Amino acid sequence: MSTSDDNESFDESSFEQVERGWEHITRGDFQGARRFAQRGLDLDPNSPEAHNLFGYVLASEGHTERAMSHFRVALSVDPQYLDAMLNVVDLLIQPLGNLPEALVVLDQALDVCLTPDELADTTLLKVEVLLRGGDMARARQTVATLTDGPYETPQLTFGVGRARFDVGDVDGAEPMIRKALADGLTNGDTFYYLGMILNAREDLVSATTAFLQSRRADLDAPRVPWTLSNSKFERAVQSVLGKVKPPVAEKLEGALVIVSDLPAQEIVSEGIDPRLIVWIDPAPADRPLPAVTRMFVYQLNAERMAAGPRELERELIRAIEEEAAVAFQRPGTRS
């Protein structure tokens, strides 16, 4: 059924269609955004803004190749279109995993930044790529170029704080994270990084409080646009159990697999990371088989980490194998 918002939009320019599309994005309505992106392209097939919006919607749905095609068209029309450049980088990082090319595009993007906020946003993305590639030395050098601001949005303030924490600068990170919270950025990421900072300072009570606030915010946040139903996610989990490394698969044989949205408050209070994807409960060393009694899989965390539905399987396999490597090293458990 059409809304008055939809009906009135036909008399607007392509650019105005795109602006309305981004308004739908901010409300989490990606289907509405797709309609406005298409209308923008109908009015102007060469509109870089409409191609960028359409690419963004497609990327959120996991259609990587089609999204990249739209971003490339946008850049062919406007080679200095910063938003499209950064969207290309996002896809190169994940799911494509082409970090060298991402760095090339980022260096091009840094050359077209016009404002301090654009420069900071692009620099933060470069830090992420360097960290993913394991280049801590260059990441630290790059973070050192970021100032305390002030920035126009608390999201950028938070981003600088997160980058500083990620390269080991806890003292530089804390005031930025706290300022972002004070400026109203009370989402799961901000509370989570505050918890990480407090945990690094061994203030465990305050850290746990922040992690519980992060969990609550994550639970209230909109799901990813491509989120699976509970039954489909459970089937996806069962499917990957046969695809993990054989030694891990053998240990998981006979385990009770429990799927839920997020780790329960009780176990977060006991020190479990609220953003854990998989928690394996191995049997005590003196207990007969199976080696694992229960495996918990947390849907919201898994979907947050995956770039789209096609990457979910890979993320689940990675999380299961990494947690298994940790779980069977715990004292008193079956190896």
HEC string of the chain? CCCHHHHHHHHCCHHHHHHHHHHHHHCCCHHHHHHHHHHHHHHCCCCHHHHHHHHHHHHHCCCHHHHHHHHHHHHHHCCCCHHHHHHHHHHHHCCCCCHHHHHHHHHHHHHHCCCHHHHHHHHHHHHHHHHHCCCHHHHHHHHCCCCCCCCCCHHHHHHHHHHHHHCCCHHHHHHHHHHHHHCCCCCHHHHHHHHHHHHHCCCHHHHHHHHHHHHHHHHHCCCCCCCCCHHHHHHHHHHHHCCCCHHHHHHHCCCEEEEECCCCHHHHHCCCCCCCCEEEEECECCCCCCCEEEEEEEHHHHHHHCCCHHHHHHHHHHHHHHHHHHHCCCCCECC
Pairwise CA distance, residues 199 & 210, whole Å: 10
Residues in the chain: 335
- At residue 118, the pLDDT reads 96
- At residue 1, the pLDDT reads 36
Domains of the chain, each with CATH number or no CATH:
1-112 (1.25.40.10), 230-327 (3.30.2010.20)
Q: Which amino acid is at 229?
A: S
Tell me the average confidence (pLDDT) per consecutive run of 10 residues in the chain, 335 residues long.
46 86 90 94 95 94 93 97 96 92 97 96 97 97 96 97 98 98 97 98 97 97 90 95 91 91 95 95 66 91 87 94 85 49
Helix axes 154-166, 188-200, angle to 10 degrees: 30
In sequence order, the β-bridge partners of residue 64 are none
Closest residue by Cα to residue 103 from 79, 125, 70, 76: 125
Written as six digits, the tokens of 119 are 């420069």
Could you give the count of Cα atoms lying within 13 Å of 202 in the half-sphere of its Cβ?
0
Look up the pTM and report it. Answer: 0.83
Pairwise CA distance, residues 98 & 75, whole Å: 19
- At residue 226, the pLDDT reads 84
- At residue 95, the pLDDT reads 86
Q: Which amino acid is at 281?
A: D
Closest residue by Cα to residue 84 from 124, 117, 56: 56
Pairwise CA distance, residues 166 & 143, whole Å: 10
Residue 133 vs residues 107, 214, 323: alpha-carbon distances, Å: 16, 27, 21
- At residue 2, the pLDDT reads 40
Pairwise CA distance, residues 223 & 231, whole Å: 16
Pairwise CA distance, residues 223 & 235, whole Å: 19
- At residue 327, the pLDDT reads 86
Cis peptide before 290 (omega within 30 of 0): yes
Dihedral sign computed on CA atoms, order 32, 36, 41, 47? negative
- At residue 6, the pLDDT reads 52
Residue with tokens 């989990």: 237
Written as six digits, the tokens of 256 are 């009770």
